Amino acid sequence: MNERTSGKTVLQTVVAVLAATPVLAGIAGVVSGPEFLHVAAPWPVDLDSHLRFLSGFFLAVGLAWYSCIPGIEAKTERFRLLAACTFCGGLARLFSLLTAGEPSAGHIAGLCGELLVVPALVWWQTRVANKAVLHARLSGA
């Protein structure tokens, strides 16, 4: 079995593309603060501080997703931890939608990714990992 038939390469590519969002949004939030969300200043200093902290966390999570790409079939624990963090963020975003109202299209897209795409990625990574284990057993490695 090669990487193409196991789905590993395609999964790695999808993770690489999707991880760009938290990395780029994290950098933008750290650099711009609330201005990144196209809100007019002045805003409370505590809001600026909190948003930049969360943006730094978002950046770190995106970079951590990238760390899963090499050897993705063997990084199940890390992959699931990042998925759980991302999914919890999506639940918080859903709570905001229900209590504060509908956000911009970008945030709705994020919500869909966090609550729908991320669980699908976990399922996919599990399949890739299981295929790798099976292949290793069959080949005597």
Tell me, yes or no, whether 117 lies in a domain: yes
State how many domains the chain has: 1
Range of the domain at 50: 3-133
Tell me, yes or no, whether 125 lies in a domain: yes
Tell me, yes or no, whether 139 lies in a domain: no
Tell me, yes or no, whether 141 lies in a domain: no
Query: Tokens 């990487």 sit at which residue?
Result: 3
Q: How would you classify residue 23: left for phi > 0, otherwise alpha for psi between -120 and 50, otherwise beta?
A: alpha
Tell me, yes or no, whether 25 lies in a domain: yes
Tell me, yes or no, whether 9 lies in a domain: yes
Its pTM stands at 0.91
Decide: 11 and 128 in contact? Cβ < 8 Å: yes
Tell me, yes or no, whether 46 lies in a domain: yes
Q: For the chain, how long is the longest CA-to-CA vector? A: 64
Q: Residue 5 corresponds to which tokens in the numbers above? A: 């038939």
Residues in the chain where the model's pLDDT stays below 50: none
Tell me, yes or no, whether 68 lies in a domain: yes
